[in-house]
C-alpha cells in the first residue's frame, strides 16, 4: 500500500541537521478536529534486539477493537540513538511497515510522544506531519513537563506543562494505575486524543492498538 509523503526529507542526516528538520516540521503540526470519527486505528511500536529494529503495526476496528490487519518490518537503524531524536532512528522502519498493510487506518497511535517533546515534534507528530494523517502520542513514560492534581478515577486528566505551555495531559486510563501521557501528534485536538485513548483502553492501562503492536514487536519474523 502506497503512503505518499506530504513533507518528505532525508533521513541520512547529522544530529544537528535533524534538529533543524524537527523545528521546521513542528511548525506544520495542525491541531484540528478529528472528523469524521475514525473507524479504524493503527497502533505503532518499535522494539530493538541488539542493533536490529522491529517496527510493528496493528490495525483495529475502533467499534469492536478486533484486529483487522497487521504488518512488521525489520531493519538496522542508520541513525544513532540521540535523546530527543528518536524519530530519525525509528521512522525508516515505520514507513516500510506501513506500506505492508492492506487496510489503511484512519488514525495512527504511537507508543511515543507527539507535542510533548522538547522541540514539540516527537515520533507521533513527526509521522503525522510527514504522512499528513491524524496521529496521537500515548506514551508510558514522561519525556518533558510536569503535572499535578491527577484524580484516581478512570478518565481523570491533568495538564502536562512544559516551559509554561500545555503540551499534553496525564491520563488515568484505569482507576488507581499509573497514568499514560497523551499529546497531539497531528490533525487532532487534545480532547480527541484523550477520547481516542479511552475508547481503545480495556483491561490494561495501555491502549489496545499500541499494546498489541508491542506484543507483535516481540515475535520472531
Helices (H) and strands (E) in the chain, counts: 5, 8
Strands (E), 50-188: 52-61, 67-75, 107-110, 135-139, 157-162, 165-171, 180-186
pTM of the prediction?
Answer: 0.95
Q: What pLDDT is stored for residue 176 in this prediction?
A: 87
Q: What pLDDT is stored for residue 49 in this prediction?
A: 86
Q: What pLDDT is stored for residue 220 in this prediction?
A: 65
Residue 75 gets which letter from DSSP?
A: E
Q: What pLDDT is stored for residue 51 in this prediction?
A: 85
- Classify residue 13 as exposed, middle or buried by CB count within 10 Å of its CB (0-12, 13-18, 19+): middle
Q: Which domains occur in the chain, in start order?
A: 15-143+185-217 (3.30.2170.10)
Q: What pLDDT is stored for residue 219 in this prediction?
A: 78
Q: What pLDDT is stored for residue 218 in this prediction?
A: 84
* Position 126 pLDDT exceeds 80: yes
**pLDDT band, very low/low/confident/very high, at 131 (cuts 50, 70, 90):** very high
31-65 confidence digits (pLDDT tens): 999 989 999 999 999 999 888 999 999 999 999 99
56-107 confidence digits (pLDDT tens): 999 999 999 999 999 999 999 989 999 999 999 999 999 999 999 999 999 9
147-166 confidence digits (pLDDT tens): 999 999 999 999 999 999 99
Amino acid at each position: 500500500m502506497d503512503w505518499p509523503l506530504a513533507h518528505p526529507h532525508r533521513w541520512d542526516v547529522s544530529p544537528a541537521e535533524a534538529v533543524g528538520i524537527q523545528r521546521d516540521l513542528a511548525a506544520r503540526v495542525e491541531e484540528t478536529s478529528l472528523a469524521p470519527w475514525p473507524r479504524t486505528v493503527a497502533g505503532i511500536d518499535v522494539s530493538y534486539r541488539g542493533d536490529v529494529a522491529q517496527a510493528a503495526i496493528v490495525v483495529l476496528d475502533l467499534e469492536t477493537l478486533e484486529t483487522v490487519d497487521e504488518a512488521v518490518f525489520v531493519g538496522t537503524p542508520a541513525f544513532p540513538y540521540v535523546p530527543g531524536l528518536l524519530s530519525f532512528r525509528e521512522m525508516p522502519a515505520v514507513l516500510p511497515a506501513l506500506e505492508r498493510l492492506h487496510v489503511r487506518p484512519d488514525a495512527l497511535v504511537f507508543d511515543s510522544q507527539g507535542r510533548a517533546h522538547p522541540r514539540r515534534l516527537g515520533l507521533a507528530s513527526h509521522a503525522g506531519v510527514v504522512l499528513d494523517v491524524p496521529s496521537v502520542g500515548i506514551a508510558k513514560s514522561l519525556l518533558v513537563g510536569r503535572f499535578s492534581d491527577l484524580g484516581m478515577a478512570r478518565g481523570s486528566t491533568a495538564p502536562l506543562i512544559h516551559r509554561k505551555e500545555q503540551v499534553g495531559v496525564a491520563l488515568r486510563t484505569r482507576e488507581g494505575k499509573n497514568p499514560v501521557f497523551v499529546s497531539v501528534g497531528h490533525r487532532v485536538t487534545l480532547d480527541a486524543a484523550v477520547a481516542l485513548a479511552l475508547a481503545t483502553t480495556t483491561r490494561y492501562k495501555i491502549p489496545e492498538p499500541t499494546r498489541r503492536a508491542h506484543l507483535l514487536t516481540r515475535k520472531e519474523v
